[in-house]
Structure 1
């Protein structure tokens, strides 16, 4: 079993044995297609952020497909691209209140770089479904600022080529919703958020078409009654 740091090996095994997360390989690849049929990959690293990775893979699984048709609603050059409000009204309503605990910061901590992914939260233990990708040419000052909040722990990344060739081309002409003209997240959560609000006021936005977890047995990504992966026996470690 490969791990990224020696320091988090014991903690990770305890999470497995407690039924809080199922053992995963070092890197899990999620392949995504956009509405313009461009492809990019997300490399998920469960050892960086076990609970965050677990939730993300659950949402990506065939049994949930939460991100299918999802809008890239906040695209800011030299800062971030944010998504995670499902096109499916029932799903986005359900998961909006299903928060997960913050992950402990591993030692040494993972420093943010362009392409790294984390959850967008609003306070401690507030993570749900909205995530962001750090954009190219983000200032070092901003990179240092990412991760200062306890809910901002990286759980994966987009490689440089996909970041530059695909993610950087997402439509960013509307600006931010903070002090700008970008779409308001609360309005996207409304029942007509996609069919009326986004369609009529923000027609140029980019979208995810679909995503698939490569080389996976979909049953592996089902959550147990604790809201996380099934328990493994000690012999399976």
Structure 2
């Protein structure tokens, strides 16, 4: 595995918690400057509301970007549900439709990345409950959530087209379908997958397929 770029000042502050070549400019967090980078990796997300496109920036959060692309390439996200959609906050997914698949990955944690890019509207990052517990669940910011920067949520990409699709994902269940707030109970989703979600929360939108472009 390649060593992550060194963002020394930022790391000290956050320890607790293929296109053409171009330089990326992002809002900086804690005075850190992101490195120059090769163009992002694009991932298309097909949903029951349409398609949106994510540009993954490995230089923002190398470990998170690598894990997300690994899950996309393996088909892990295919036929998942957008199980937590909270208006004016986030859209979250990442528990597989097949509970056996969730069980294989849910404790395969990756170390935290320093927060380099801010949690602005359209940015995507891994969800977690405690430092060092990023695994499969990700979220897209529906609004600017810069308060999440200081708690270690490190964006690794952003929606570059189709944000209107993200905005249209069904949000009527709020926190209920996703198991509540960060420390909520997701045990039935983990144990039963889509069987539980489709029975109890049938209006949730579906992630039909995720693929690299």
Does the alignment reach a TM-score above 0.5? yes
Q: CA offset at residue 179 of structure 1?
A: 6.1
8 Å contact 1:4–1:47 — kept in the other structure?
Answer: no
Match of 2:47 among 16, 34, 38: 34
- Does structure 1 residue 70 correspond to structure 2 residue 115? no
Of 147, 151, 154 in structure 2, the residue corresponding to residue 149 of structure 1 is 151
Write the distance in 1 (CA, Å) between the matches of 2:82 and 2:166: 10
> 1:114 Cα shift?
0.6
Q: CA deviation at 1:149?
A: 1.6
Off by >6 Å, runs of 4+ in structure 1? none
TM-score by length of 1: 0.70
- What's 2:55 paired with? 43
Give the unaligned 5+ runs of structure 1.
13-23, 215-237
Alpha carbons of 1:207 and 1:184: their partners in 2 closer, same or farther (altered >3 Å)? Answer: farther
User: How far apart, CA to CA, are the structure 1 residues paired with 2:185 and 2:47?
Assistant: 22
What are structure 2's unaligned runs of at least 5 residues? 1-20, 26-31
Bigger-Rg structure (1/2) = 1
Going by fraction, where is strand more abundant, 1 or 2? 2
| Residue equivalent to 1:200 | 199
Deviations for 1:100-158, whole angstroms, at most 9, x for unmatched residues?
000123xxx322211011111111111000000000xx3x6xx22111122x1110011
Structure 2 residue aligned with 1:101, among 105, 111, 114?
111
> How many pairs were matched up?
183
**Does the 8 Å contact 2:119/2:148 carry over to 1?**
yes
